[in-house]
Amino acid sequence: MESPTVHHERLVAEHSAHNYRPLPVVIAHGEGAWVTDVEGRRYLDLLAGYSALNFGHSNPDLLAAAHAQLDRVTLTSRAFGNDQLGPFCAELSALLGKDLVLPMNTGAEAVETGLKVARKWGYEVKGVPADRARVVVAAEGFHGRTISVVSFSTDPEARGGFGPFTPGFDVVPYGDAEALRAAMTDETVAVLLEPVQGEAGVIVPPAGYLADVRSLCTAANVLFVADEVQSGLGRTGHVLATRAEGVDADVYLLGKALGGGVLPVSAVVADRDVLGVLRPGQHGSTFGGNPLACAVGRAVVRLLEEGSVLSHTRTLGAVLHERLRGMRGLTAVRGRGLWAGIDVDPALGTGREVSERLARAGVLTKDTHGPTLRLAPPLVISEPDLHLALDTLEHTLRG
């Protein structure tokens, strides 16, 4: 008789498209930083849904907000108003110090929306000739998997077999301000980048780079669009990774943690002179701004406003990086806050092999790009649990 894990893996293998290669763990329950699989084994989660679960599994504040709204109304479409949309937009815009919010669902939708807004702003405000707008993006970045996004991806796996591609993008090396300057023309309407590149392995740009991007965009009358889908809403110990560097973007793209791991919620946040270029009928979403999503998003904003999660993240982030820097078996450590990209000595195995060994030892993380693992525990993880996870990593690297 097949085990519960094998049973579920077989169903997925037989009936789900094979676009993922998950670790052999089938999760049935989660609370805080811990999850339990279908066979009763417990694991410390060091991935947190790629930062969608910043506030932990089954966060009581977020579940309470969701449960309360489930008993009232979950969807109206934007054909009508609902009593959660206005407060959500007001509270999120106040948190970020911007005028307007355009709510969507997934991070990829937020990116696509940001690109549409940037192009329209370029035509109506900057005066770029019709259909000539260009956007500068960074190599090795990750912004989703839509056709337009993979059109400027530098990952062959993301692009292969999906052409023809959307034109209008110029790719420059990440962290190279001079390359960015050289790529800008009179037809450039936006620079789109992650303040920390997550999928690439938690790549932190050189000191001063984001400030240089801001200066170049201001001088050239170009929008600075910061993709904070993964880096934002607490992951670095700050509401926004961009602001942690003392820099303000023109447009913020949010997702993942905005839905608290309860449901997909994303948003584009900017001032009126940018988002005001959209008029009724030009962009929309049936589920974007639905009352259930807005109720959960409001609870997320309250958690960030309260501030204890952010201070906890900064404190434990220092612990995380101090321990990683002294750990044998690692050839590089990068990151901010409770977020690290670590490169494993190839003599100890590939990133995938190490993540499989960690899972067997009760710690969940995920490889990306060969020897690299990402560590991104829920921001609510306790210090003893963080040390337990790092002890397990250290033991695993020793073999």
User: Other C-beta atoms within 10 Å of 205: how many?
Assistant: 20
Residue tagged active-site, from 98, 120, 126, 256: 256
Q: Among 45, 170, 212, 227, which one carries the catalytic annotation? A: 227
227 as an active site residue: the answer is: yes
> Are residues 348 and 397 in contact, defined by beta-carbon separation less than 8 angstroms?
yes
Q: Is 271 one of the catalytic residues?
A: no
Greatest CA separation for the chain: 68
Q: How far is CA 90 from the centre of its chain?
A: 22
Question: Could you say which of 55, 88, 142, 287 is catalytic?
Answer: 142
Rounded CA-CA distance 261/51 in Å is 9
Q: Which residues are catalytic?
A: 142, 227, 256
